[in-house]
Amino acid sequence: MLPDIQNREDISRLVGTFYARAFEDPIIGYIFTDVARIDLDEHLPVFTDFWETVLFRAGTYKRNALQVHFALNAKVPLEAEMFDRWLGIWTSNVDDHFSGEVADRAKLQATRIAGSMHRRVRGRSGSEFETIGRREALVESGMPTASEAPRP
């Protein structure tokens, strides 16, 4: 049985092994190495801050991850397949090193983050519930609003 993610040291190891895999990936590796030109030694503490904040609410991450992805998307369109690949590498990396409640949360949060980031860089809402229509959109589409809908 694998241990659960317990502290910053575990997150640092997880993030380091993940990015080593991601940098080598034939589909998304070039985004990290050629487009973003990430120096892993320099950025590993930042990535660790991010995940420590996500998983343990540590408040150590003070940057704007979305802005970074907007800038990358301006250079190379970040497609759904790229986010899916990132998520697949992340998930398998978590499963290779950890097991437990926090490890499960790391995978769940990564799924949410990947989906939200992709929607946002595509100019859409970050919400998973963006398909819930606004009243104006319903009126324009000819669908009945809540007050117009037939009642049982």
pLDDT digits (tens, 9 = 90+) for 106-125: 999 999 999 999 998 988 75
Percentage of the chain beyond pLDDT 90 is 74
Question: Residue 137: is its pLDDT beyond 70?
Answer: no
Predicted TM-score (pTM) of this structure: 0.80
Q: How far is CA 124 from the centre of its chain?
A: 15
Highest mean pLDDT among 64-78, 88-102, 118-132 belongs to 88-102
Nearest to 38 by CA among 82, 62, 71: 71
Question: Does the domain at residues 8-128 carry the CATH identifier 3.30.565.10?
Answer: no
Q: What is the pLDDT of residue 150?
A: 45
Residue/partner pairs of 38-47 with CB below 8 Å, 24 or more apart = 40/16, 44/12, 44/15, 44/16, 44/19, 45/12, 47/15, 47/19
Whether 135 contacts 145, CB under 8 Å: yes
d(CA 128, CA 105): 17
Q: Where are the domains of the chain?
A: 8-128
Tens digits of per-residue pLDDT, 28-53? 999 999 999 999 999 999 999 999 99
